[in-house]
Amino acid sequence: MTPTPCPTCGCAAASAAHGIAGLLLCDDVDAAIDAGLMQAEPCVSCAPACAAKLVETRASRLAALAARERFRLRSARLARRAAQREAARRVPVAPGPTPALPPAAAAALQRALAKAKRD
């Protein structure tokens, strides 16, 4: 690897972290991830603030990935619970005779029918 100076701090050591630091300097996190941000170790010759940028960006990406996984698991759990509730609501209806009216309702119906016949 040919030594390329770090675009952030000017360190002249040969390190793959310098290319990643340049991508982070341009706010191109996707390209930095493709370049190996998640596996790269910070350059030991770089300034502490420069190395910290790489470590902080990697930590924030790991936190975002963990949050996305927790959200995916939560969504699956909520969908499973909703399906279980829906299944519990759908009680199979057994075919059979219709239930008789309660006595008070049957008496009211008889009175209404008798009144309708009189009128």
> Residue 47 sits in which domain range?
1-89
Does residue 20 sit within a domain?
A: yes
Does residue 118 sit within a domain?
A: no
- Nearest one of 14, 33, 12, 13 to 24, comparing CA atoms: 33
| CB contact at 8 A, 55 and 17 | no
Does residue 111 sit within a domain?
A: no
Does residue 3 sit within a domain?
A: yes
Whole-number Å distance between alpha carbons of 104 and 90: 30
Tell me which residue has tokens 């000017």.
10
Q: Report the alpha-carbon angle 89-90-94, nearest 5.
A: 130
Domain count, the chain: 1
Can you give the pLDDT of all 119 residues of the chain as single tens digits? 556 788 888 887 888 888 888 888 888 888 998 998 888 888 888 888 888 888 999 999 999 999 999 999 999 999 999 999 998 888 776 677 776 888 899 899 999 999 998 87
| CB contact at 8 A, 19 and 50 | no
